[in-house]
Structure 1
Amino acid sequence: MTGTVTRMISELVKRAAGLYTGGSRAVLGITGPPGAGKTTLAGHLVAALAAAPPPGHDAGWVAHVPMDGFHLADAELDRLGRRARKGAPDTFDAYGYAALLRRLHEDRDEMIYAPGFERVLEQPIAGVIGVPRTARLIVTEGNYLLLDSAPWRPVRELLDEVWYTDLEQEERLRRLIERHVRFGKSREAAVSWATGTDERNASLVAAGRDRADLVVSGLDLGEPAA
């Protein structure tokens, strides 16, 4: 059931902090269509939460672990014939992502390393995100957290809450195109990709909007960092 739509970052920080009640880890998921501000929101939340840790914890009590590190490498996409659809649900290691979330919840290891995604190279990079045992709240974000089909379905069960970020369509596309240009595409290629592949993926993501715990709409945190 979708909760109240909110625009206040302070309310979101408080709600996120409240997911951790002591003891076991909590995992917050942030989803939404490409260009809607998932990574920007996650970054603001993590910075604010790190600056105000709960009693007995330090800034490392919160960690940011994006889903994007589970992109399949271009070599594998070429082998599968899927490179032209990079970013679609079947171009990720969904089982691997779910396994990481499971491992985070199990909370057995002193350090867990997660993969990241290098946007300049457009490639996943193994072991670049370290999550120490002291991290009690994990913020993860990605397109397909609410996708109700295999192999993504198990992901939702491993998230304490999922928030859906919404942004007016024209502004979302503008930001998405600018992001593609910033990371090396020509403007023509950026427009084609944003209105083609990205837009098809956005429709899949939007189908899960009503299953989010909270819809975050109209929150303007500025342009994402380059």
Structure 2
Amino acid sequence: MSRSERNPGSARRSGGRCLRTLDCSSTCRSRLAAFAASLLSALFVFAFPAAPAAAHDGCSDVTVVVDFGALAADPATGCAADPANGLDALAGAGFSVTEVASIRGMVCRIDELPESNCGAAPPAKEYWSYWRADSGDADWAYSPVGGADAHPEAGDVEGWVFGDGSTPPAIAPDDAAASTEGQGPDAEDEASFTWIIAVAALAVIAALVIWRMRRDRRA
């Protein structure tokens, strides 16, 4: 005779306990899944806000334009945070800079263009001219000083053009500033912090689910 046959009441109690355990496990898992889905939805909205909200986050520092002229198809823009001078702004905006060896502050190559040994001054018809626009200016002005001696401030727009120096950047200062919306170190730091929060929250959810499943198994 089996144990259940000897004690039918014990079997009923045991079976009921098992059913209650399975039912609780299923309910808890469903609740945890719903909670995880809700939290993930909230994190998605927080990490990826609607496009119109980002439209107010322009470059609050110095906008830099590089017009490669005949060397490349389109001008490129970037955002530099609190640069010490024009060359620092150019590098801070993400462009590589090589100076003329014999002339302090004179730019020879930007992003390795044009191909040159940079030993002497470039020809007058093929050099990097330097242009500037104060915050709110609609037009470019040829800079009377070199990049090493300029002191751009927040809101200013800097421009570099490869050619004979007679033509400013192909993109207007206000358009250049608008093109750098959402750029800059503040935006990058905010995005990194958002992802740290998201990853931490997911780790907590995973740990909670694993703990609950192990407890259900032991029960």
TM-score, scaled to structure 1: 0.23
Between 1 and 2, higher relative CO (CA 8 Å, sep ≥ 6) is seen in: 1
Higher CA-based Rg = 2
Normalised by the length of structure 2, the TM-score is 0.24
